[in-house]
């Protein structure tokens, strides 16, 4: 007893000493801020590494305390204590990786490269600790059949995480697994950093305004400001960020410049320079396969899918194949229609990839009298945001109120408090809307600076963030969104709701399978363009006029136009991801470009449609996160299309009973139950693919 007291006292004294040494490091102090938000403005680059090191050390001490507990292992003293371990490290990681994605700099990238192998080894040392696993297994063997509900799920998920983490491997194989995990973490990080550098490096400078025919005044003004900041006043500068390249491909009359821009976009990470991602991919694929075989699986997809809804690669391919045939047929018909349009208008060239968006826009305008320039004035960013707030208030009774006196992750971010219908605080939601090429990752995502949890029986509310890359306002004109960007807003807001509503007791059951996580986000997209919703938020930014019914009708009639392209480019990337990860051996002369070409050719992808992501900038799979999982969006679309039918069947897209059921059975539950079980409890049956095919105009 005396010895135990001495060790405990030594630990306390050591911690006090470390805290004193880091008195100026915000991570080592209480955050006396509004809503307990991180004091972002006080956190400097030099604060991260000491905080990471301390976080790993504290978690090791927590693990040692579990192992050294003289009492027989049980659910409370082993599983619950393990679930709570690593709080300090989690706090540091949430801030660092959130900022590193949204507002990085060279020093942060160096820190990321430095800490990645250390964190990988730290996680492995926990999962591969034989004494810790011995206690976990003892509780599992003794208590699994006795426990119920969330406790049973936590025990199951904890045990499975150790087994999947290699706890049952031999000592020799565990050493190998640590080595593989360390290499994989570094390669994934390098891939992402290379892509960020490649995207920022490519620019097109235009010095004649006549070359910009077809482009909107807003896009030209933004390009002129960009050029001015780069020292090219009087010219126009274009980059590869989505708010620039997509409207450029859609509207620029200059065919040569469209080709230059698209080739630059498609060749990111494939320029045979220091940021070339082909060697990274070759190593990633080989190491992932080696890891899968070490874990007794024939390929990496088989290993990755074990804890997802799909369960196995065959189920994924079965879904993709069902959609591919009708999608490619529609795409081919659209290509033929565009070729006819080109010929009819005096063109003597064949349709190419850099022509697709341009002529698709021309056809939509001709057939439906609609284009993006007609709808943008009604999609002022702030109005779209308020439209999202309106939808969820009608569905769930929750409200969002802007808060000013709270630290923000970037100077451009805004913050809103979310309250439940009864006034209960649910959490904080940050928005960081605008592109920052070179410092912000591309695309849009929802993350968090604190996850929902429970402490001393009290719910700790989450701090959620939505990050996107919209074009910032120019002059006195507000940010006006395209229809696709509106859909993106609603999508990420759905992820945010999932985080804000989550109400689970244990961290270990907070997450959901990768192919289920897109259900809450994608179902929100269904409300974006419903006439009742449009008439609330779609107001002309100058006159305040509500979007006219005539324009709504045009949007509805054109809703399925272009789905051949959208579906095919997505499925092509999904096949590419899966094909890499069902390999059971790697040829000695393996070539990324040849493999990609063969994968797409055998599916019959037409040359005018590149996959949504080519291998060398396919961060979803090569950067981790959606490895052997990019199919998840279409898998979840089967769910979300079927789930929205539940509202439509009631004759009211805001049906309270259905909304309450969706919240209680899906949004609040985290991973406390099997995903399909939760869905069936909401819907009454497993989903069918029919609604998806109908929504996409493929049936």
Q: Please write the tens of the pLDDT for every residue from 234-277.
A: 999 999 998 899 999 999 999 999 999 999 999 999 999 999 99
Looking at the DSSP assignment, which residues form a beta bridge with residue 450? 463
Phi, psi of 509 (to 5 degrees): -120, 20
Question: What is the band of 437 on the pLDDT scale with cuts at 50, 70, 90?
Answer: confident
pLDDT above 70 (res 17): no
pLDDT surpasses 90 at 12:
no
What are 470's strand-pairing partners?
A: 434
Given a cut of 70, whether residue 19 has pLDDT beyond it is: no
What does the alpha-carbon distance between residue 183 and residue 185 come to, in Å, rounded to a whole number?
6
Strand partners, 415: 430
pLDDT at 10 over 60: no
Catalytically active residues are 492
Query: Mind listing the pLDDT tens digit for each residue in 351-391?
Result: 999 999 999 999 999 999 999 889 999 999 999 999 999 99
Distance CA 641, CA 524 (A): 10
Q: Which residues touch 553 (CB under 8 Å, ≥6 apart)?
A: none
pLDDT digits (tens, 9 = 90+) for 82-133: 999 999 999 999 999 999 999 999 999 999 999 999 999 999 999 999 999 9
**Is the confidence at residue 614, as pLDDT, over 50?**
yes
pLDDT band at 23 (very low <50, low <70, confident <90, very high): confident
pLDDT in tens, 482-493: 999 999 999 999
CA 210, CA 216: separation in Å to the nearest integer? Answer: 13
Task: State residue 64's pLDDT score.
Answer: 97
pLDDT at 11: 45
Specify the fold of 376-507+514-557+678-695. Answer: 1.10.1370
pLDDT of residue 16: 58
In degrees, rounded to 5, the angle at the alpha carbon of residue 11 between the alpha carbons of residues 9 and 17 is 105
The average pLDDT across 531-541 equals: 97
Q: How many other C-beta atoms lie within 10 A of the C-beta of residue 639?
A: 27
Residue 5 pLDDT level (bands cut at 50, 70, 90) = very low
The mean pLDDT value for 157-166 works out to 97
Contacts by 524-527, CB closer than 8 A, 24 or more apart: 524/388, 524/391, 524/490, 524/491, 524/493, 524/494, 524/497, 525/487, 525/490, 525/491, 525/494, 525/640, 526/640, 526/644, 526/653, 527/391, 527/490, 527/653
What is the structure's pLDDT at 38?
Answer: 98
Which band of pLDDT confidence, cut at 50, 70 and 90, is reported for residue 6?
very low
C-alpha 663/C-alpha 513 separation (Å) is 18
Confidence of residue 596 (pLDDT cuts 50, 70, 90): very high
Q: How many residues does the chain have?
A: 699
| pLDDT of the residue at 84 | 97
For residue 20, the model assigns a pLDDT of 58
Structure tokens at 409: 């992750």
Mean pLDDT of 638-647: 97
Which tens digit of pLDDT belongs to each residue from 462-506? 999 999 999 889 888 999 999 999 999 999 999 999 999 999 999
Compute the C-alpha angle 291/297/302, nearest 5°.
100
Tell me the whole-structure pTM to 2 decimals: 0.93
How confident is residue 4, by pLDDT bands cut at 50, 70 and 90? very low
What's the DSSP call for residue 380? B
> Within 202-310, where are the H helices?
217-229, 242-251, 255-266, 278-294, 300-304
Instruction: Return the bridge partners of 546, or none.
Output: 539
Q: Do 287-365+560-629 and 376-507+514-557+678-695 come out as alike in CATH topology? A: yes
Task: Give 195 or 17, the one with higher predicted confidence.
Answer: 195
Average pLDDT value for residue range 414-419: 98
Output the pLDDT for position 475.
Answer: 84
Axis crossing angle, helix 483-501 with helix 381-396, rounded to the nearest 10:
40
pLDDT over 90 for what percent of the chain?
A: 94
What dihedral do alpha carbons 264, 269, 273, 275 form, nearest 10°? 130
pLDDT tens for 216-241 read 998 999 999 999 999 999 999 999 99
With residue 234 as reference, give the H or E element that holds it: none
Residue 695, number of CB atoms within 10 A of its CB: 18
Q: Are the C-beta atoms of 414 and 382 separated by less than 8 Å?
A: no
pLDDT of residue 407: 98
Please say whether the beta carbons of 39 and 47 come within 8 A: no
Instruction: Give the pLDDT band of residue 15 (cuts 50, 70, 90).
Output: low
User: Under CATH, which number does the domain 287-365+560-629 receive?
Assistant: 1.10.1370.10
Residue 280 has pLDDT above 90, yes or no: yes
Q: Are strands 204-206 and 236-238 parallel, antiparallel or unpaired?
A: antiparallel
In whole angstroms, give the CA distance from residue 26 to residue 44.
9
CA distance 281 to 337: 37
Residues 375, 397: Cα–Cα separation, whole Å: 29
3-state secondary structure of 204: strand
Domain ranges of the chain: 21-168, 202-266, 287-365+560-629, 376-507+514-557+678-695
pLDDT over threshold 90, residue 21 = no
Say yes or no: domain 21-168 is CATH 2.40.40.20.
Answer: no
């Amino acid at each position: 007893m005396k010895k135990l007291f001495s060790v405990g006292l030594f630990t306390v004294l050591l911690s006090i000493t470390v805290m004193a040494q880091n008195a100026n490091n915000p991570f080592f102090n209480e955050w006396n801020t509004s809503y307990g938000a991180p004091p972002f403005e006080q956190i400097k680059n030099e604060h991260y590494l000491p905080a990471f090191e301390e976080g790993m050390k504290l978690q090791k001490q927590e693990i040692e305390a579990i192992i050294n507990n003289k009492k027989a292992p049980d659910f409370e003293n082993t599983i619950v204590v393990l679930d709570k371990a690593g709080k300090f490290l989690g706090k540091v990681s949430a801030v660092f990786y959130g900022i590193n994605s949204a507002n990085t700099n060279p020093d942060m990238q160096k820190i990321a490269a430095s800490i990645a192998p250390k964190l990988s080894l730290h996680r492995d040392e926990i999962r591969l600790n034989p004494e810790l696993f011995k206690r976990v297994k003892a509780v599992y063997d003794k208590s699994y059949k006795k426990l119920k509900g969330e406790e049973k799920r936590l025990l199951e998920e904890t045990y499975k995480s150790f087994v999947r983490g290699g706890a049952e491997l031999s000592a020799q194989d565990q050493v190998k697994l640590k080595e593989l995990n360390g290499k994989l973490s570094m390669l994934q990080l390098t891939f992402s950093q290379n892509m960020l550098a490649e995207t920022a490096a490519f620019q097109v400078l235009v010095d004649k305004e006549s070359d910009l025919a077809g482009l909107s005044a807003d896009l030209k003004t933004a390009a002129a400001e960009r050029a001015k900041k780069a020292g090219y006043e009087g010219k126009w500068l274009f980059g590869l960020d989505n708010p620039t390249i997509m409207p450029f491909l859609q509207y620029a009359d200059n065919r040569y410049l469209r080709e230059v821009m698209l080739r630059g976009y498609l060749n990111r990470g494939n320029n045979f320079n220091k940021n070339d991602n082909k060697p990274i991919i070759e190593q990633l694929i080989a190491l992932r396969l080696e890891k899968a075989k070490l874990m007794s699986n024939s390929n990496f997809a088989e290993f990755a899918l074990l804890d997802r809804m799909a369960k196995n690669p065959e189920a994924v391919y079965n879904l993709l194949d069902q959609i591919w045939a009708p999608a490619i047929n529609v795409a081919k018909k659209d290509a033929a229609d565009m070729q006819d349009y080109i010929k009819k208008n005096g063109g003597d060239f064949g349709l190419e990839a850099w022509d697709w968006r341009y002529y698709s826009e021309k056809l939509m305008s001709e057939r439906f009298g609609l284009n993006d320039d007609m709808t943008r004035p009604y999609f002022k960013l702030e109005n779209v945001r308020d439209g999202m707030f309106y939808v969820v208030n009608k569905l769930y009774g929750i409200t969002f109120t802007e808060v000013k006196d709270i630290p923000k992750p970037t100077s451009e971010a805004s913050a809103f408090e979310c309250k439940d219908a009864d006034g209960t605080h649910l959490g904080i939601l940050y928005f960081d809307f605008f592109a920052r090429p070179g410092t912000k990752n591309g695309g849009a995502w929802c993350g968090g600076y604190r996850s929902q949890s429970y402490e001393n029986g009290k719910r700790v509310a989450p701090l959620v963030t939505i990050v996107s890359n919209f074009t910032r306002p120019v002059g006195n004109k507000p940010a006006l969104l395209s229809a696709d960007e509106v859909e993106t807003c609603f999508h990420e807001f759905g992820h945010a709701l999932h985080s804000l509503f989550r109400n689970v007791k244990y961290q270990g059951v907070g997450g959901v399978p990768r192919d289920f996580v897109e259900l809450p986000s994608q179902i929100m997209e269904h409300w974006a363009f419903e006439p009742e919703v449009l008439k609330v938020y779609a107001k002309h930014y100058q006159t305040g006029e509500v979007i006219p019914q005539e324009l709504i009708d045009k949007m509805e009639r054109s809703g399925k136009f272009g789905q051949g392209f959208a579906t095919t480019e997505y499925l092509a990337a999904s096949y590419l991801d899966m094909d890499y990860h069902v390999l059971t051996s790697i040829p000695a002369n393996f070539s990324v470009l040849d493999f990609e070409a063969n994968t797409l050719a055998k599916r019959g992808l037409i040359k005018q449609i590149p996959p949504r992501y080519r291998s060398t900038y396919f961060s979803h799979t090569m950067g981790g996160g959606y490895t052997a999982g990019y199919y998840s969006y279409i898998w979840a679309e089967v769910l979300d299309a079927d789930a929205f039918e539940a509202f439509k069947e009631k004759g009211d897209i805001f049906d309270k009973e259905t909304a309450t059921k969706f919240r209680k059975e899906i949004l609040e539950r985290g991973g406390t139950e099997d995903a399909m079980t939760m869905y069936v409890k909401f819907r009454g049956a497993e989903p069918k693919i029919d609604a998806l095919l109908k929504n996409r105009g493929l049936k």
